[in-house]
Amino acid sequence: MFFQFVGFLVLVRLTSASDVENCPDPASVDNSIFVAKQEEGQLLGTYFCLQGYHLVGKRTIHCNASMVWDAPSPTCHLGHCPDPALFNGEFNSLGPVQMSDNITFQCDDGYILMGSSWSQCLEDHTWEPPLPICKSRDCGPPGNPAHGYFEGNDFNAGSNITYYCEERYCLVGTQHQQCVDGEWSSTLPFCQQVPQTELEKVLLAFQEGKDLCQATKDFLKRLKESGLIMEEVKYVLEMKKAELEAKRLL
């Protein structure tokens, strides 16, 4: 074993000189250590960046049958972790980040921080906790449930919407929702079909038939099958008429 210094490169060979005399010396890489060893009939070389630097490129190369290295040498860049990034926000790092450095994050007005407000550069070149993102406090347009709809055209933070269902459907879930920190306050509700009552099936006879005589026959037939009496039908029709009249006057 012997050591060779080339500029800021520290070259460490773990093989004898005869093992590597036919392979050229690897290119000098500043701020790195190069370890070469013979394995399965070929010479392998691995670069390790010094503390405070991170490697860009292929870490391990080998000397092939043509006595040339199979890949260009990597480089060692100052700053142990990748540069942090935060759209719609800012952090307190102004230069290359070293190992064990901590940085803190803050979002611009109108945005909320999703994730940790700080992170540290670790020895394996990663950030922990993972870098956060800044998300808008406003909400996107909400979805429409099948056979339903919502009322409201403001989707900014603090705005409210109300869900409704079509006729013959009832709402299951939260009807009134608010935009809070970029999310609607509840999950999307759904509209459940309301089963027909015997009376509704009887009245449907008039809607299904275009011929008045046939529609009347169908109505009387269904009325008999249901066991209802005409007075009950009359009462329900009067109630529906009153409801429609009240809606018209609103």
Taking the C-alpha atoms of residue 69 and residue 210, their distance in angstroms, rounded to an integer, is: 88
Provide the token pair at 212: 């008045």
Residue ranges with strand state E in the chain:
2-6, 9-13, 32-39, 42-49, 53-56, 60-63, 75-78, 89-91, 102-107, 111-114, 118-121, 127-128, 133-136, 148-151, 160-165, 169-172, 176-180, 183-184, 190-193
The CA–CA distances, whole Å, from 30 to 34, 37, 53, 70, 161 equal 10, 20, 10, 20, 61
Residue 32, pLDDT above cutoff 60: yes
Residue 7, pLDDT above cutoff 50: no
* DSSP-assigned states of every residue in 94-106: -SPPPTT-EEEEE
Residue 68, pLDDT above cutoff 70: yes
Cβ proximity of 37 and 61 under 8 Å: no
Residue 30, classed as helix, strand or coil, is coil
Taking the C-alpha atoms of residue 122 and residue 100, their distance in angstroms, rounded to an integer, is: 6
* CA 237 to chain CA centroid, nearest Å: 52
* DSSP-assigned states of every residue in 88-133: TEEES--SPPPTT-EEEEEEPTTEEEES-SEEEE-TTS-EESPP-E
Taking the C-alpha atoms of residue 36 and residue 44, their distance in angstroms, rounded to an integer, is: 6
- 103 pLDDT band (50/70/90 cuts)? very high
Please report the domains of the chain, with CATH numbers, ordered by start residue: 2-78 (2.10.70.10), 89-136 (2.10.70.10), 148-193 (2.10.70.10), 198-249 (no CATH)
What integer pLDDT is reported at residue 250 of this predicted model?
A: 59
Most confident of 52-61, 83-92, 191-200, 201-210: 83-92
| pLDDT, tens digit (0-9, with 9 covering 90-100), for 143-169 | 899 999 999 999 999 999 999 998 878
Cβ proximity of 142 and 162 under 8 Å: no
Which H or E element spans position 212? helix 212-226
What integer pLDDT is reported at residue 187 of this predicted model?
A: 93
What integer pLDDT is reported at residue 11 of this predicted model?
A: 46
**Looking at the chain, how many residues does it have?**
250
What integer pLDDT is reported at residue 203 of this predicted model?
A: 60
For the entire predicted model, the pTM comes to: 0.48
| pLDDT, tens digit (0-9, with 9 covering 90-100), for 207-250 | 555 565 665 666 667 666 666 666 666 666 676 667 667 666 65
| pLDDT, tens digit (0-9, with 9 covering 90-100), for 187-201 | 999 998 876 565 566
Higher pLDDT: 73 or 179? It is 179
CA trace torsion 86, 89, 90, 95 (10° rounding): 30
Taking the C-alpha atoms of residue 161 and residue 178, their distance in angstroms, rounded to an integer, is: 7
Strands 148-151 and 2-6: unpaired
